[in-house]
Amino acid sequence: MIPRYSRPEMAAIWEPENKFRIWFQIEAHACDAQAKLGVIPQDAARAVWERGKWEINRIDEIERETKHDVIAFLTNLAEHVGEEARFVHQGMTSSDVLDTCLAVQLSQAADILIKDIDELLAALKKRAYEHKNTLCIGRSHGIHAEPTTFGLKLAGHYAEFARNRERMVVARREIATCAISGAVGTFANIDPRVEEYVSAKMGLEVEPVSTQVIPRDRHAAFFAALGVIASGLERLATEIRHMQRTEMREAEEYFSPGQKGSSAMPHKRNPVLTENITGLARIVRSAVIPAMENVALWHERDISHSSVERMIGPDATVTLDFAIARMSAVIEKLVVYEDMMKRNLDSLGGLVFSQRVLLGLTQAGMSREAAYSAVQRNAMRVWEEGADFLTELQADPEVVASISAEKLVSLFDLSYHTMNVDKIFDRVFSSN
């Protein structure tokens, strides 16, 4: 988590102040529950809320001696609460606090990420409709294939991020559980009703069975969802980077007044934002494998997961938040060159219609093998000599013997390739 790629709202979730605030709320709500059950005095629970305070520097000071962060926090809390602090943390273990806190933090992060995705979806939808019928060449293996529209390209990314939003909703639901079950998760020293009370107060669900820690398959699924979202960002970023290449120049990132592209070459306008997003996506995905490795803890608990999560929790969520927001800005301001799209579409002399000609010949009675051979030999002359595809076909005796000149010309109709665009858009956007 570095300032350059951090936004304040997400970064604040991982600041010590937020963490300790959540710790305090967990402990104070647990005290309330214990008081309701008659385990601790009502006055003690009230004192925790009224006098409960902490100082980050003091906690750090105590931890240097205790080598235990939760004990350091509780010691500092007791310095303010006084005698009643002996009832704090009754029957609990540090994992109850740490794991429940992490669940809250990841839930908070998920809420921001869902909002981020909503903003990206809005930008993609707006630009997709804007370019619903903007013709461009579709590419297979990086090679010109058949016509499509730029709007369809964006619609595909919209559909992916609609799925990503659902993944994030599911991941949030799965991660948002609370464990207040005590040592090894048996509730031997704390009533399960305390967990139920704290869960409700913290906006979480009860973890059905915890060993002393919340099962890490939940966390693995959460970070896997982040990784998939990051990959979707990279797919979109890669498309834009390719379209901005000098040889294509079909679209490019907005280049603001005063912006510089290269320290050496003043003419450069580089796709630096989408390149940056590509790099950030790699960082987010790097959290996935460690999160999965955290699943296999020893017996009822070990802390091999702890150091991992202290790193990947902030880094993955802060980075993804920044990357999604950056991509939204890129899409909103993306400069689209429709004339270059048309120029590239036409650059291979009509070869984009080769399949239509192939199908026209087979429907006219020619075998598929013969039709393929006829179309390919004419296409190769276009590739190698820069000829015009229609002209070559019209001069081919085998072709004109099977299909009329009028019919042949009709096969070179761009509108044929866009006749189902509305249907696809209805599928993608009808429920959105």
- Compute the half-sphere exposure of residue 191: CA atoms within 13 Å on the CB side of its CA: 16
Tell me the C-alpha to C-alpha distance, in Å, between residue 16 and each of 1, 19, 59, 105, 381. 14, 5, 10, 11, 68
> Are the C-beta atoms of 280 and 324 separated by less than 8 Å?
no
Alpha-carbon distance of 343 to 364, in angstroms, equals 32
Residues 6+ apart with CB under 8 A from 203: 104, 107, 176
Catalytic residues: 141, 262
On whether the CB atoms of residues 277 and 323 are closer than 8 A, the answer is yes
> Are 45 and 31 within 8 A, CB to CB?
yes
Those residues with Cβ within 8 angstroms of residue 349's Cβ, 6 or more apart along the chain or in another chain: 382, 386, 387, 388, 389
B/e letters for 237-272, b = 16+ CB within 10 Å, e = fewer, are: bbbbbbbbeeebbbbbbeeeeeeeeeeeeeeebbbe
> Cα(21)–Cα(342) distance, rounded to whole angstroms?
58
Number of C-alpha atoms within 13 angstroms, CB side, residue 146? 13
Q: Which two tokens stand for residue 192?
A: 């399960």
DSSP class per residue in 71-116: HHHHHHHHHHH-GGGGGTTTT--HHHHHHHHHHHHHHHHHHHHHHH
The CA distances from residue 381 to 311, 351, 378, 409, in Å, are: 58, 11, 5, 19
Whether the CB-CB separation of 225 and 168 falls below 8 Å is answered with yes
Angle at alpha carbon of residue 46, lines to 45 and 51, rounded to 5° = 105
Contacts of 204 (CB under 8 A, 6+ apart): 100, 103, 104, 107, 176, 177, 178, 198
Q: What is each CA distance from 387 to 135, 143, 171, 371, 402, in whole angstroms?
A: 23, 18, 55, 20, 22
Cα gap 310→294, rounded to integer Å = 12
